Structure formats: C-alpha cells, structure tokens
Structure 1
Amino acid sequence: MPRFFAAAVRTSWRAVTAVLLVATLLPALAAESNLQQSPRTTVSLVSDHAAVSPGQTLRIGLRQRLAPHWHTYWKNPGDAGSPPNIAFTLPQGATVGAIDWPGPDRFIIGPVASYGYENEIVFPMRLTVPQDARPGSQLVIESSGDWVVCEKECIPEEGKFRLSLPVEASPRPAAAEIRAAFSIADARRPQAAPWKASLAAGGSGLQLLVKGEGITSQSVRSALFFPERWGLIDHVAPQSLEVGQGELSMKLQKAQGYAPGPAKGLLAITDGGGRKRWFALELAPATASAGELAAADAKPASLPLWQMAVFAFIGGLILNLMPCVFPVLAIKATAFAGMSGSDRREVRLSAVFYTLGVLAAFMALAIGLLAVRAGGGAVGWGFQFQSPLFVASMCWLMLAIGLNLSGVFEVGSSLAGTGQQLAERKGHAGSFFTGLLAVVVATPCTAPFMGAAIGSALVAPAYVSLVVFAMMGLGLALPFLLLGLFPAVARRLPRPGMWMVTLRQAMAFPMYATAAWLLWVLAQQAGEAGLRTALAGAVLVGLVGWLVGLGQQGVKKPWWPRGFAVLGMAGLFGLMAVLHTTEPVAPSSQQATNAEPYSAERLASLRAAGKPVFVNMTAAWCITCLVNERTTLSTAAVQQAMQAQEVVYMKGDWTNRDPAITAFLQSFQRDGLPFYAFYPPGKEAVVLPPVLTQAIVTEAIEQ
C-alpha cells in the first residue's frame, strides 16, 4: 500500500506539473499564429500581447526567421527583389495600420545592390481592438501575405495566417521570446532626424548635405543613405562621406531613371562606438556649385576632346542624309540652282555665309543648352521642339517660306526698288538664314556618332562644348561649302531661265508638307485647342503673305495692304501668347499596341525578373524615329523576333518634356533622339545605332 500511494502521488505531481507547464506556455502560443515554413524561412504572424482588452492598441507583426545568407526586403528593395505584402481579414470595428518599416541594411551581390534584412526581422503594424469586444471572447485575425527571399537566387513565397487572441479585462503581454522578436525591429526603428537635409543635383552626381548640432567625426564614423523611392540613386555605387563640425556631406550617383524633386529616405549612421542608428530625412532640392559636385560627378567626359570633335564632325556630315533634314533640302536645292550663271566670287561668298549661319546656330544652341544646365534644368538636343509655341512658329515659318517660293511675295524687295548693292546683301543674308534654318530643322534627330559627342560635351567644360558644337556645324555645312569653294559643278548647270522659276515653285511643296507635319506634331503636344490656334495662325500667315505681295506689285494705295499686314502680324503675336500658356497633353499617337509605356520602376522589375527588354525612346517631332518605327520596329520580322525571345517592348514618348526620359538618356550620356537600348537577361544594356535596320535589331535580340 505505501508503494501504491507513493506511485499515485508521483503520477499526480507529474500531471500537475504538465498542466502548469501548458498553462505557462499558452500565452506564448496565443501570441503567435501558425507557421509557414520552407528551407529558407519560417514565417508567422505575432502579437506583442498574449491577451487584449476592448479598445486597446497593440502591435502585431509579420515575423520572418531566415536561413543563413538569405535576406528579405525593405519597402524600397533596391536593384532586385520585392517588399513583403500582407492583407488582413479583421473582426468588425478592428483596424490595422501600415507597416512601420525597420531600418534596412545594404547587400551587394556582383553588380546588384539590395536593401533588406538577414537572420530575423519583424515587420510591425498597429492594431486597434474593437471597443465592443467582449471579455471571454476571441479576437481572430486572419491574413495572407507574400514575400521574396534571396541569396544568389530569389524565391517568391506566400502564406496564410490565423492569430487568435483572448479578450480579457486587462491586457497581458506576450512571452519573452515574442517580445525579443519585436525588440529586433525596435532597435532598427528610424528616428526623426533633428537636422536640416538637402539634396543637390549636378551632372551625373548628387550631393546629400546634412547640417545640425551633434554631427562630429566621433558621432559619425560611417553613413549610408537609403532612398525611400526607387530611381533616385544608383544603389550599388559607392557613397563617399565627409564629416565636419555640425555638417556631413555625401556624394551619391544618380540612378538611371533619376527625376528631380523632393525626396525622402533613411540615413544609417554608425558612431565611434559601433552603434548603428537610422534617421528619417526629408530632403529639400538644392543647387550645388560645380566645386561641391566635382567629386559626385566622378565620371568625366567619356571621350577625349579630339575624339569628341571627330565624332561631332562625322555626325554633322551624316546629318545631311538624315530624314530630319529633308525639309531644308528644298531650300538648299533652290540656293544651289541660284548659283547658275553667277561668278565664282559670289558662289563662294554664298557658301561661306551659309556656313556662318550653320555655325552661328550651333553656337546659339550650345550656349542655350549650357545656360539651362547651369540653372539646374534638364534638357536635351532638340529640346526646343518640346515647346508648342516653337513648333507652331516653325509651322508658320515653313508656310511663309512656301508662299515665298510659290511667288506670292518676295523677301527683301523694296516697293520703290533697290540698287544692285542691296540685292547682293540680300543674297548673302539669305544664305546665312538658310544655314540657320538648316540647323533648327535638323535638331529633332541625331545622327550616328553625334549622340556620344553631344552627351560627353554637355558634361564637359564650356569651351569643350563650344568646340564640339562648332565641329558638328562644320560637318553639316561641309557639302554646301565644298560646292561653293569648287563651283565646277554649279557651272555645269543650265544657264539661267524659266527652269529656275519652275524648280523654285516646285520646292515650295516640301515646305507645305513640313508645315502640315508640324501641325500634326502640335496636335500631339497641345491637343485640339493648340491645333485650332495653329490653324488660325496659318490663315493669318497666308493673309499677310498675300498682302505683302500686293504691296510689292505696286498698287496705287500701298498703305492699306501694309496696314492690314501689320494687323495680321499683331494677330500672330497674340496667338503666340495663347500658345505660350497652352498646357501640354499626353501624346496618343506614339504608343503601339504591343508596347508598354516606359517606366524606370517597371524596367527595373523586368530586369530583376530576368526578362529581356527593348527600350525605344521616341517623339512625334523626330522624323527619323517615325521612319525607324515604320520601316523596322513594326515589321513582321522584328515583331516575331521579339515574340520568340519573349522580349518586353517599352516605349518612352519625349514629345513633351519628361524628366524621367531625360534622366534615362543622360544615364547613357545621350541628349537626343532617336535612342534604342536592348537589355539582355542579366547583362548590361546594348545601345543600338540611331538608324535601324531589321538585321540590326534581330541580331541584337537573337544574340
């Protein structure tokens, strides 16, 4: 019997111990949901309270425990990956807030940098219990989530969770293990920065400047900036740090899809004792001096001056053959025909004045581009065609030139007649003006060799830019200049006669065609309202041209056509003022049915997923772009090649100003259109030439 009682006591004691142990563990179990497990992660939904009370606000969180060397992601994942997403099904009256993101670390694997977390992390959120929750009931939280974890490869995962918390009169905290998990996130909780911060852009660099008390070389041993949005900085590029008394400065590299404007981010600072803290910054845009950004603009012009000059000269020479220059070929042909019967001196002077006009236009463009860049603006080659006012003015000018060639009026003729000396000046002025016009009309597109030269020149010192643009102008003017200096060809033309009048009138129709094309461009930019204004201006141009012609024909009372012509010109200036205030519209004609609109974020996600991408940067005012699309990109051979290789076709429309496209072009040191880049899976972009053929595109895709 004693043995029996002893055994019974021992059994009872074990049972009581087991009950007490279960009672002890229940709060911990209640504070964590079911587990979703894989060889890489163990994920659950946790609560910092094992029991809740009505109306209480507590924290819940997605808890991730990761295998060694694997990491998950912050809200801006960097170059690869995706942040975790979670959706909830809650009882009526309960609410849950957004993720309170812990401060991340940076992981660099080869050419890719990511922002995220290793080992263990909790993504905390605020949960409010309904006021009418009854003690004794259960608060049931159901959720579904997805996340990506990466080592050398990235694996998407997902799971569903159910967390049941008892409702009691007084809340009860979770067990120490769960609280310790939350403390990992708390140690990374970003603090509001007590300093003023700004971000200045210049060239390919950025300068992050933070000023305030407490910043010293002892308190800041190292620092790393994490931008809140994608497309602000190059994530993998080094971030150089300089620390002074009350100030720290960091030199960053612009991202490929950089767009200026206010920005937010975290500044992770490690102090002299090895303690790491994250500070939330709101960065005001600022302007830095060239000296301040010298280090940030670490990439110098990619080409030496002599090579830029040679490329610019060759590009300008080839520009004579580009479709963009077609509108001015009619003027060149008329001028060349005008050399018939002229003496050698006049022929040479005409060619020289044409060349001077070309060079003057290129110098004006260079100075204008440099001035806008110095003021912090982002513009590129052909930027003037992004202005509806400029496009409409060019349309009216082309129409006026066409009317002049058709004989409606004469430029420079005096009603009372002029002497031979004035006529000669008029001819040289006409040659100079032809050179100016050739450059203005040619700027919508770039030729081979021009892109690298222009891109390098615009980030180089001003004198380098002027030399490069001058060489480009010399290349464009060279064919006509050679005809003038060696006029043997001109002497072989038929003697002056009616054929010259017929040729001149025939050359008016390319001008009319150009005016019609510019009207279409304006419709893409400014919509129906801009088109109405431009058409009204075209009517006024025709009226003014007719009135000027009447005055030149020697009417008895020349004052009335002159007066009405002045009124017509005043009307044109009024229409210019209207166009200056016209808001641009989103172009609708540029998007092909099989093309995605360009987005820097979308491009990055496709590249991270290993998808091949073909990027086409185009504009309605770029004739070469339109020719390439019609003759190459829209053909069955190219489309089939893209489909066979599962290439994603992206299209950026630069008809109106778009900072994202400007930044994309500048990341390749390009400032003009057309521009084509093909991204093979896992490799850097391959830049294609501005004049495409089916063979060029299909070979790039298939290789």
Structure 2
Amino acid sequence: MISRFRPARLAALIAFFLSVLGLPLIGTARADDYASDWAHTDQGAARLVVAPGQDGALRLGLAFKLEPHWKIYWRSPGDAGLPPSVDWAGSENVQIGDFAWPVPERFELAGLETFGYEGEVVLPIAVTVPHPGEPVHFKAAVDFLTCRELCIPNDVALDVTVPAGLEGPGPYGDLIDRYQARVPGDGSAAGLTLETAAVGGAGKAARLDLTLRATPGLVQPDAIVEGASPVVFGRPTQAAGGLETHLVLPVLDGADVIAKLAGKPLTVTVIDRAAPAEAPRAATVTLAATPLAETGPALGGLALTLAIAVLGGFILNFMPCVLPVLAIKFLALINEAGQGRRRLRAGFLATAAGILASFLVMAAALAAAKSAGLSVGWGVQFQEPVFLAALAALVTLFACNLMGWFKIGLPWWLAGRLQAGGGSLAGSFLAGAFATLLATPCSAPFLGTAVGFALAGGPGDIFLVFTCLGIGLALPYLVVAAVPALARLLPRPGYWMLTLRRLLGLLLAGTAFWLVWVLGEQAGSAAAGVVALLGVAAAAALALRHRYPRLGRTSAALTAVLLLGMLVPPAVLGRGVEAAAPAAGWARFDPAAIAPAVAKGQVVFVDVTASWCLTCQVNERLVLDKPAVKAQLSSSGTVAMRADWTRPDPAIAAFLKRYGRYGIPFNVVYGPGAPDGLPLSEVLTTDAVEAALAKAKGAARS
C-alpha cells in the first residue's frame, strides 16, 4: 500500500539531517552570533559574549580563560598590576558603559598584596543600543596584564556582529548573569551596613578602623580600600564589638601621611571570604574618613575641636530651636537685674549649671547607647513619639508657670539649700536644663563638626566635646556672672513684666502645639489630637486652681493625671503609621540611585530633614522654596531627593555617618563635577546652594 505524502514529516526529516551534518537552519541564530572567537595567548584566552536583553537591549561580557596559576587584575590591583582596559573604536550602534567587577581574590607574593582573578571570569559591561532592531557591531582592542611569578602584557582584538532580532537568553545569558551576581552591591542584600571609617595612629600603630553591622556576623572578613593612595592597607583583623563589627586594617605603606586621609572619601569593599564564590557576601560603600577615635587627634587638633564645640554651643543660642527658650532667658535677666551682685551672680551660675548638667547627662546617655551598639545622633530623641508627648507636657507646665498659674519649685530639703535672699535658684537651674532640652533638635554652624567628632570617638571624646558645647550655650550667663554690671543695661523690673510674662507664656504654648504637630507626623493625627486635648485640659485645671485656690489638691492631682495621660496615646496609637510621601518636586531618598544618576550626567541634591528640626524648616522656607532655587532643583537633569528623618531610618543614619555627621540638617550635592558629593553648611544660603549646583554640573558642561 502506497502511503500518503506528508510535507510536515518531510520537513522534520530535512531538519534532522541538517542538524546531524552540523548545518544551521534558516532563521535560527548561530553560536557565533552571540560571541567573538577566542583570542589566544600563551597565558590564556579572551573573548566577548553577548546575551539578548529586554526591549532590544543587550548584555555584554568580557570573558577570560586563564592557564593554571596565571591571573588578571581587579579594577584596583593593589601593590602591583594593571586592570584590563578596552578601546571600543570602530563599534557601531552601541554605547559602552563601565565594567562591573565581580568579587576579586586576594593574592600575596613576596610581601606584595594584589587583587584579581584566576581560572575563568567574566566582566559584565553595561551597554545601550541607540537603534534597537538594527545589527550591533562590537570591536574591542583589549589590553590586559597576566601575572604569575612574572608579568606579561597582552593585547588582543575581539570582533562580533550581533544580527537584529535575536531573542531568548542565548547560550551566554546564564554565564553573564552568574558573574553579575558576584558583583558587590550596597550591602542591603548581604546584611552588611558599613557605618564609619576612621584613620589615624602613627608608625606601626597607624591603621584604618571600619565599623559595620553584619547580620549574621562575618566569618572570614576581608576589606579592600580604594581612594587611599599613597597609603596601602593590609588584610583586616576582626575585633569584638557587641552589636557592631569592627575591622582593623594595618598600614603597610604611607603611615606618615595617613592623617591626610581624614575628611576624604574612601571606597571600601567588605567581603566575607567564607561565603561561596558563586554567592558571595560583599558590599561596596563610599564614605568619608574620620579621625581615629582611639588615638585621637594631635593636641592642637583636639584643642581646635574643643574650641569649635564652644563656638557651636554659643551660636546655638541664636538658632530657631532655642527661640522659645530665649523668652525664659530674657525674663530671668530682667528678674535678676534689680537684685544684689551676689544674688545676680548666683542666679546666672545656676542657669549655667543647669545647662552643663544637662549636657553631661546627654553625654552619659549617648556614650552608653554607643557602647551598647545602638544608633546615636544629635536630636534623635525627637524621633520617639513618647518623648515628644513628655516634652509637650513639660512645655505646657512652663507656659502655665509664665502665665502665673503656679510656681515651679523643688522639694523643701533641696529648695532650702538653693534659696538665697527671697528667691529660689531652682527656676534658674531648670531654665538652663529646659534650654538644653529644646536646643537638641537644632544644628548650628560648627555644631555638626563637634558632634561628629564626639560620636565617632570614645566616651572620653563624648564627655569632652559635650562639656564644651554646654560651656558655649551657657557662655552668655557665665559672662554676666563674671561681670554683673552688664545687667544694668537691662530695663528695670516693673508692672509691665506681668504682660510680658503672659506673652512669653503664649509663645511657649505655641511651642507645645508645634511639638504636638510633630507628634502627629510620627504617630498620626488621632494620637496627636488626644495629646492636644489632654494638654489643654491640664492647662485649664491649673488655671482653675489659680482662680479658685480651694481646688488646690484636687486640681493638682487632676493635672498630674492629665499630663501623665499625654504619654499614653503615642504609645498605643502611634504604631504602624506610614511615613508621608515627599512634597511635590521631591523624590523619595534612595542612596542606591545616586551613583547611576551621576553616571548619566545628572545632578542629585539630597536634603536630609525632619519635621522636628526647626533649622531644617527655616532652610526650606528661606532657601529651598525660593523660586530661583526651586527652579534649579526641578530643572531637567537635576534630581532632588528628600530624606525624611522624622522617624528612625537606618538607611538615613548610615548615609549621615558616611560623612561623619550625626545631626541634621544635612545637604549634599552630587554630579559629574562632584561624584563624591559636596556637603553644605547646616544653615543654607541661596548663593551656597546655587554655587554647589553649578560646581556639581561642572564636568557635564565641559
């Protein structure tokens, strides 16, 4: 019986015989569409491999296959060597970006330490295709150095044309992806957060200290430092450190100039060598080096830092955060002006003592928190809703005191010791403590430098610097205490002070409502509304007590209950409230997006702010919201990022620490002309912002 003719079966048979003979089918991509030929040398071979991407994009890799014991070098080779370089002249319909460098090995030979690769490696390369759907031609002149006991330079020519219309991953897609996965990221996926890099010491004691959080802990830590030339660091050792991990890198060369690295950006790649090569645990972070805390600066440097701390504390008197407290200060000045010299001096010294005592308490708390591995910073207590509610209650009490509804006193056994003449020094002491408390969300010029040095150091540094900050804030009181005749320049006390006290009380009441507004930003409007109602009720109870003295104990008990009740709503209602979206024209803070944006020629302006930071709000109203500045920040080619630190945010805290900052406001500008960032002063000016933006654009204009 004769079978029927079946075209499909005939086509299948033809395809089978063609495949057996090794002939490609019409319309099927060939292997050499995805790779160049191997270019061989005596030490190995190199070629280009290509994989189709999405929407007509391509992925490219420079592949090396080396003979045993021969190696090529990483982007920063170490004590010797050169990394591969490529001249892409003659390539068509493609724009070539930078290499992505997988985690390198560390090699030691004859006292030299280098970084590179043995065996096989693929360097992924970023490419874009200007005209998708059209063929792409890669032409590469590759120079690379191969070393064993001796080094041999090589140059090879690689050439591959990729036809239009390639689809699917191709034969090399998995290969490129495998090595792309070995490129260190920012550490978030690896559980690594690099927080500080401190340099210092002399001679054999010179070193670099790295502080990082590693979850889980590092098993076999390694670290590679870039940007430190001519200083060369050796293999790190791991020191114990509570919740933090500390790596110590000895200086192999350049110990005499290591101090010059302070303030300069360092790029550090941290690697856990215990992780498998196929799934490395590594992170690459760029951060500013700070002076080494354990050895401390030279005597002259320490004296300068302490002088800066005094100056920063003094300027804090005139910052917007302290303006409500100036009310109490001014009233205290007038009250004391008509008294004897001894009483006058005692009152001002009591206020200065309140300030200094408060700074010492802060220093102790920060030193303890830092020793426990907790995040520390200037003003971070304002990120806690319960603290805001407690401070609002305290401010309400001070406002009611200025309104004359009750007096702030101390227990009889202590008040008797502090009284002189007819008045108590308790109010003066508490005014100083209160001034310090409300000053903490503010950052004045020079303050950030001093606090950064203190918190990057040990407990001794913290206590020294915070004592000097307290002296600076208390300086006006100390001056008047030393020269009481200055008080004669003030107006004499009189009936007019009653009106002034009430006006100042209203000013502090406004501060209490501001604190409640900040609370609403953190814990939600419901919690803030209840706190506000309880605060108003407490003030009303004190007013009734003043008007009807017979209500004394009942009113006092009710006031105490209401004020303590103000602490409950933020603790109960303030959990799980989502952070507000950035204002119009601002992008949400994303540190990982900064470098890619700069690589595209864009300028990135980062504003680290918080609703509780009054200096931040002043900067925003007087500078950043000005039409001229706003137009530049919203212009094409500029990305304005807002990092809202109203609530705790580890990413923002780590970002600040990279620059040795522990308080806000903080503003920094990145761009082709400033890839490592241009930090600005705490108090912004229009000219400073415009100048920084212009400088950051510099390379883009050339």
**Pairwise TM-score range, normalised by the shorter structure:** 0.5 to 0.7
CA shift in 2, pair 1:200/1:446, >3 Å = closer
Native 8 Å contact 1:203 1:297 kept in 2: no
Q: After TM superposition, give the deviation of residue 20 of structure 1 in Å.
A: 8.8
Q: After TM superposition, give the deviation of residue 211 of structure 1 in Å.
A: 8.7
1:697 aligns with 2:689: yes
Q: After TM superposition, give the deviation of residue 243 of structure 1 in Å.
A: 8.2
Native 8 Å contact 1:251 1:295 kept in 2: no
Q: Secondary structure at the match of 2:387?
A: helix
Post-superposition CA distance 1:105-164 (Å, at most 9, x none):
489xxxxxx9999997499xxxxxxxxxxxxxxxxxx9x99x9x9999xxxx99752469
Native 8 Å contact 2:350 2:425 kept in 1: yes
CA shift in 2, pair 1:642/1:547, >3 Å = closer
CA shift in 2, pair 1:295/1:669, >3 Å = closer
Native 8 Å contact 2:409 2:426 kept in 1: no
> Equivalent residue for 1:309?
306
> Equivalent residue for 2:534?
537
> Equivalent residue for 2:405?
408
Native 8 Å contact 2:389 2:566 kept in 1: no
> Equivalent residue for 2:166?
161
- What are the residue-to-residue correspondences of 1:64-83 with 2, within 5 Å? 64-65=61-62, 69-70=85-86
**Runs of at least 5 residues in structure 2 that lack an aligned partner in the other structure:** 1-16, 38-46, 65-83, 89-96, 107-114, 125-132, 144-161, 183-189, 198-209, 239-244, 251-263, 283-289, 696-702
1:24 aligns with 2:29: no
Native 8 Å contact 2:528 2:570 kept in 1: no
> Equivalent residue for 2:235?
241
Q: In terms of mean alpha carbon deviation, does 445-454 or 26-35 score higher?
A: 26-35
Q: After TM superposition, give the deviation of residue 513 of structure 1 in Å.
A: 1.4
Native 8 Å contact 2:334 2:490 kept in 1: yes
1:518 aligns with 2:518: no
Post-superposition CA distance 1:285-314 (Å, at most 9, x none):
xxxxxxxxx999899669921111011001
Native 8 Å contact 2:609 2:665 kept in 1: yes
Q: Distance in 2 between the 1:184 and 1:603 partners?
A: 25
Q: After TM superposition, give the deviation of residue 514 of structure 1 in Å.
A: 0.8
Q: Distance in 1 between the 2:319 and 2:555 partners?
A: 40
Q: Distance in 2 between the 1:697 and 1:584 partners?
A: 36
Q: After TM superposition, give the deviation of residue 408 of structure 1 in Å.
A: 2.1
> Equivalent residue for 1:392?
389
1:579 aligns with 2:570: yes
Native 8 Å contact 2:610 2:646 kept in 1: yes
CA shift in 2, pair 1:570/1:282, >3 Å = farther
Native 8 Å contact 2:377 2:455 kept in 1: no
> Given the alignment, which residue of 10, 22, 43 partners 2:50?
43
- What are the residue-to-residue correspondences of 1:289-368 with 2, within 5 Å? 304-368=301-365
CA shift in 2, pair 1:475/1:37, >3 Å = same
> Equivalent residue for 1:599?
590
Q: Give 2:390's aligned amino acid.
A: S
Q: Secondary structure at the match of 1:649?
A: strand
Q: Distance in 2 between the 1:314 and 1:432 partners?
A: 22
Q: Distance in 1 between the 2:500 and 2:226 partners?
A: 60
Q: Distance in 2 between the 1:628 and 1:638 partners?
A: 12
Q: After TM superposition, give the deviation of residue 349 of structure 1 in Å.
A: 0.5
> Given the alignment, which residue of 644, 667, 679 partners 1:687?
679
Native 8 Å contact 1:33 1:45 kept in 2: no
Native 8 Å contact 1:257 1:660 kept in 2: no
Q: Secondary structure at the match of 1:314?
A: helix
Q: Secondary structure at the match of 2:424?
A: helix
How high is the TM-score relative to the length of structure 2?
Answer: 0.65
Post-superposition CA distance 1:622-671 (Å, at most 9, x none):
11111111111111121234456833211111111111111111111111
Q: Secondary structure at the match of 1:448?
A: coil
CA shift in 2, pair 1:29/1:453, >3 Å = same
Q: Distance in 1 between the 2:575 and 2:510 partners?
A: 26
Q: Give 2:694's aligned amino acid.
A: E
Q: Secondary structure at the match of 2:277?
A: strand
Q: Distance in 2 between the 1:477 and 1:568 partners?
A: 32
Between structure 1 and structure 2, the one with the greater Rg is 1
Q: Distance in 1 between the 2:640 and 2:374 partners?
A: 29
1:650 aligns with 2:629: no
Q: Secondary structure at the match of 1:241?
A: coil
Native 8 Å contact 1:351 1:485 kept in 2: no
> Equivalent residue for 2:608?
617
CA shift in 2, pair 1:224/1:435, >3 Å = closer
How high is the TM-score relative to the length of structure 1?
Answer: 0.65
> Equivalent residue for 2:42?
none
Q: Distance in 1 between the 2:418 and 2:175 partners?
A: 91
Q: Give 2:166's aligned amino acid.
A: F
Native 8 Å contact 1:619 1:655 kept in 2: yes
Q: After TM superposition, give the deviation of residue 489 of structure 1 in Å.
A: 3.4
Q: In terms of mean alpha carbon deviation, does 181-190 or 300-309 score higher?
A: 181-190
Q: Secondary structure at the match of 2:304?
A: helix
> Equivalent residue for 1:267?
273
- Tell me the number of residue pairs that the alignment of Structure 1 and Structure 2 aligns: 545
**Runs of at least 5 residues in structure 1 that lack an aligned partner in the other structure:** 1-18, 47-60, 73-79, 84-101, 108-113, 124-141, 166-177, 191-196, 216-222, 226-232, 270-276, 284-293
CA shift in 2, pair 1:264/1:540, >3 Å = farther
Q: Distance in 1 between the 2:383 and 2:541 partners?
A: 27
CA shift in 2, pair 1:346/1:44, >3 Å = closer
> Given the alignment, which residue of 656, 660, 665 partners 2:656?
665
Q: Give 2:623's aligned amino acid.
A: T
Post-superposition CA distance 1:390-437 (Å, at most 9, x none):
11222222222222211222333999xx99985758631111101101
Q: Secondary structure at the match of 2:690?
A: helix
CA shift in 2, pair 1:579/1:187, >3 Å = closer
Q: In terms of mean alpha carbon deviation, does 375-384 or 525-534 score higher?
A: 525-534
Q: Distance in 2 between the 1:643 and 1:653 partners?
A: 19
> Equivalent residue for 1:637?
628
- What are the residue-to-residue correspondences of 1:119-130 with 2, within 5 Å? 121=122
Post-superposition CA distance 1:424-467 (Å, at most 9, x none):
58631111101101111011111111111110111223222211
RMSD over aligned Cα atoms? 5.2
